Structure 1
């Protein structure tokens, strides 16, 4: 053990009760006290999650003597040092029973430890190396993590600093593990919770994805990588790490073609983050302040570009047909344009406000916000097609990302400002891209067909002539009763004052059944701007609301071949959407 290393020991006395025991040994340090802090968030998931709320029974000793230990803020414990020549030992328990890719989950079957939610750090000493020793219960045999082992026979792992430690989750239990090599990198796949997966098929398909992405970026920065996948009855999600990822899916998704392709897209997304965000990043995203929010307007580039490339990589591997890929891309437009919030919040604003909006949606989110994932993917598609068309297929967005990675990460070892990224993109391609970058900071929409048309495609709203009537509400059924779940901005229900959580009882004097058939009938038989009377119950009291019927604003976007495309445009479209041999 290095004298300057901060060392942790993990044990499980009561995993069935969802607890892990942590022992932390801090070397002799100068000063009268040590401030121990718990991160409030984890990189890649931009929400203050207050991990310290799960800590119990924290106490400290030195040379066998108890030390005074006081909590001085929500996530800080101040330890008054004893003998300054002795190390300080800190012990605490953590409760973990939240099934997600970013939180601790411990039960009798396994433990998933998100390190930011598990390990304290000494204030001011994030640069210190650390070691983690795992004491396996008798019933568990495997440990999966991106951390390297101290030696081949021990269960002790090490990190050169706490940024690496906090970016290296641990899966501990009896997960199904296998190994494969792709892009000259050793990969481990750890499956938790069973499932209908085919190891050979998964290995083959992931190898194609890994080699496609490595070719795009020009190198693979790792010598090893770990896929940790949690299989649930129903679940989804992923979180990227420096040399690993945690994925969540349904254990039956592998046998359903569409679901399996979605899982491959998820894996492609998280693996793409090896470069885009973990290494190529805005200045605000590292080094991190783990005690508070880290603000950036650049998540539309980091997450949005990654959301564009995940499905594009699946197309390049040949897993998606052209139509399947275009449907996936069109879905980004549907998700944005069917939220009135796209007129309220720009991609850059969504990035900045991720800490208070992205992970905390409410009933009005559709009216006030968008996702920088979806909007960023739209802007990335505009950039890619514009570059392809303007350079006659000689350049594309791939070239921009590769050069940005080489410049900002490899050569200059720093994060970038958005203006620098734009300037580099224009210098590499020789294409003026200001219109698209500027669009990330406004709610004024681009004419996306000015980009798609140049590569032989067009974006069409198949519902543009739709004259179906609507109140602009979404209903949910609870115990045979209908309640308002959402009210769309500027709809008839919005203007009339219908509220979320109102119970809808009758329309035009006709009682509604649990399927809402009478409402459907009124919409089919009604006229534009006709006033209907709605009997509702609000907080237990009935009243009548008079609301106008209006045309349904739901859009259905499709990306399809342009009928009058020139031969050059068709060639550029093939470049854009071609399968690439790895």
Structure 2
């Protein structure tokens, strides 16, 4: 009897666990019209009323998305199949009453956006972001989950996901948080994989290209993965020993990338044969870097992720911005981008941040707070983003650049700092506060250095001296002062008129002259715009100091103003030797170490 009792207890524990498991089934008989049929069963419900809901948010996004709008035809039943009463207390949830301890629901989902946030169902694939697909019961979020994907055998569909396999096409998750963070690609995909230190890196690709294209691209993916590993010295310990890239490079996808704990979504309309070989790899670099920075080096402000309201964090300049800094740096180090391409490619992001009036309103932390309003969020009222917002991706990227170069002047580098942050907060999975980042920088580079960086550039919105920082690695930063600047963009209509398409930059000649977005410029100094000429090309005939007489229409009424052109605030960034300047040995060595040149 003593030998039987432990087995009996184990059997009871397993049976109890199974009885407490929430189960889902999803099928796609009407994929041609972008529909899925989903059933969910919640056993052992102990409350009189069970509330189920659709998520309003998605891991990796910070805005509201209101996934409930794509759900219809909901029905609820008890354990015997008898219909149950359903109340709708708000747009996001359903209350189910009168059950017998088991609640089963069935509903139809419409899904037709293949990216990192939404789901897409058609006859090419079922691309599933879990929060956009499955209802859940908040009161049962700690329960394990099993989900069965009823695949279309007639379309040769297979399942790819970070979820661990039970059997067949049934997968499991330990709880709701893990389930919601586990996207799924169901299609006739191809897969390549390789081992790194005993862990598997899988690259799943749904595309219309050839095996040869995939093989070539996979080599680029491998170089990217291994180069990022060099920053931290090791890969994360992926759950179940596996990391999966879920890539869809197909015409019906929407360009996107979205990180998850052990996988990432990569979507693009560009095929590998049509520019995707070079242009899609940047998303691979960015999203895989998140396996460390944001998935495990995790801001406390995002823990736990809330599926019922917008998620706000002041740390996105670091979580997203520093990741953005490494995106192309990694490609350069991996030999997938030339040093000249990388250095000159810094120009656009630098000018966007440096010349933005928005820094007078918000520092990087406060820019990060704007994420719920800008991160794939939608609104119908016009906004003044040109003057009030800098993307935390870009802002953090140029600050990461400055910190890296400033550390190199001290004989250190950003890799070393990121590795220390990883050791303290990533491997331990202790969520950090911004003050922790400052203290860790102080530990790495000295308290005075850290306090100066954070007090000047993070808690305030001052800008580092990039000209002197670039000189450390032999990079030139020059203005285009000989060019004239007006401060707007315009779309030429082909009739000699041009519509202003952006809010004028605060303080620019156009702003001072009273021009505004939507105005129709009919002539400048009496001349119309030649057909086929770009607006900037038209302005290039003028010089700083020239006064333009601008005739325009606003709300159908003719108006006239004058604008005095100023020197362009736009900078160019390039390797110093490109203009004949000879680098010192110190500069050559610093650049070699920065870009890890062989």
User: Above 0.5 in TM-score?
Assistant: yes
Q: Select which of 120, 123, 129 maps to 1:108.
A: 123
346-355 or 202-211, which moves further after superposition? 202-211
Question: What RMSD, in angstroms, separates the aligned Cα atoms of the two structures?
Answer: 2.6
Aligned partner of residue 2 in structure 1, secondary structure: helix
Aligned partner of residue 91 in structure 1, secondary structure: strand
Q: Is structure 2 residue 561 aligned with structure 1 residue 546?
A: yes
CA distance in 1, matches of 2:324, 2:517: 31
CA distance in 2, matches of 1:518, 1:29: 65
Task: Indicate conservation of the 8 Å contact 2:483/2:543, yes or no.
Answer: no
Unaligned stretches of 5+ residues in structure 1 = none
CA distance in 2, matches of 1:434, 1:72: 50
- The residue aligned with 1:169 is 183
Task: Decide whether aligned partners of structure 1 residues 511 and 317 sit closer, same or farther in structure 2, where only a CA change above 3 A counts.
Answer: closer
CA distance in 2, matches of 1:276, 1:547: 49
90-99 or 244-253, which moves further after superposition? 244-253
- The residue aligned with 1:46 is 62
CA distance in 1, matches of 2:534, 2:324: 38
Task: Decide whether aligned partners of structure 1 residues 518 and 143 sit closer, same or farther in structure 2, where only a CA change above 3 A counts.
Answer: closer
Any idea what the Cα deviations from partners look like across 1:70-106, whole Å, max 9, x if unmatched?
111221211114223xx21011111111232211111
Task: Indicate conservation of the 8 Å contact 1:343/1:444, yes or no.
Answer: no
Task: Indicate conservation of the 8 Å contact 1:238/1:266, yes or no.
Answer: yes
- The residue aligned with 1:347 is 364
Task: Indicate conservation of the 8 Å contact 1:10/1:133, yes or no.
Answer: yes
Q: Is structure 2 residue 146 aligned with structure 1 residue 128?
A: no
Cα offset, 1:542, TM superposition: 2.4
Any idea what the Cα deviations from partners look like across 1:427-456, whole Å, max 9, x if unmatched?
134462222223023222121234333x33
Cα offset, 1:478, TM superposition: 5.0
Q: Is structure 2 residue 482 aligned with structure 1 residue 466?
A: yes
CA distance in 1, matches of 2:205, 2:30: 23
Task: Indicate conservation of the 8 Å contact 2:245/2:265, yes or no.
Answer: yes
CA distance in 2, matches of 1:528, 1:318: 45
Matched ranges for 1:135-174 at <5 A: 135-140=150-155, 141-151=157-167, 154-174=168-188
CA distance in 2, matches of 1:207, 1:330: 28
The TM-score normalised by the length of structure 2 is 0.88
CA distance in 1, matches of 2:23, 2:340: 53
- The residue aligned with 1:185 is 199
Cα offset, 1:512, TM superposition: 4.3
Aligned partner of residue 248 in structure 2, secondary structure: strand
Any idea what the Cα deviations from partners look like across 1:508-545, whole Å, max 9, x if unmatched?
44444544689966772577262513132x33x22113
Task: Decide whether aligned partners of structure 1 residues 335 and 520 sit closer, same or farther in structure 2, where only a CA change above 3 A counts.
Answer: closer
Q: Select which of 398, 401, 407 maps to 1:378.
A: 398
Task: Indicate conservation of the 8 Å contact 1:101/1:247, yes or no.
Answer: yes
Any idea what the Cα deviations from partners look like across 1:357-398, whole Å, max 9, x if unmatched?
3435866322221111111111112222222321x2xx4222
Any idea what the Cα deviations from partners look like across 1:171-202, whole Å, max 9, x if unmatched?
11222333333443323322224146722222
Aligned partner of residue 198 in structure 1, secondary structure: helix
Q: Is structure 2 residue 39 aligned with structure 1 residue 20?
A: no
Matched ranges for 1:364-513 at <5 A: 364-390=384-410, 392=411, 395-411=412-428, 413-430=429-446, 432-438=449-455, 439-453=457-471, 455-463=472-480, 465-468=481-484, 470-477=485-492, 482-486=498-502, 487-512=504-529
More helix by proportion, 1 or 2? 2
426-435 or 296-305, which moves further after superposition? 426-435
CA distance in 1, matches of 2:54, 2:153: 29
CA distance in 2, matches of 1:322, 1:378: 17
Aligned length: 565
Task: Indicate conservation of the 8 Å contact 2:189/2:206, yes or no.
Answer: yes
Task: Decide whether aligned partners of structure 1 residues 527 and 142 sit closer, same or farther in structure 2, where only a CA change above 3 A counts.
Answer: closer
CA distance in 2, matches of 1:452, 1:76: 54
Aligned partner of residue 437 in structure 1, secondary structure: helix
Aligned partner of residue 147 in structure 1, secondary structure: coil
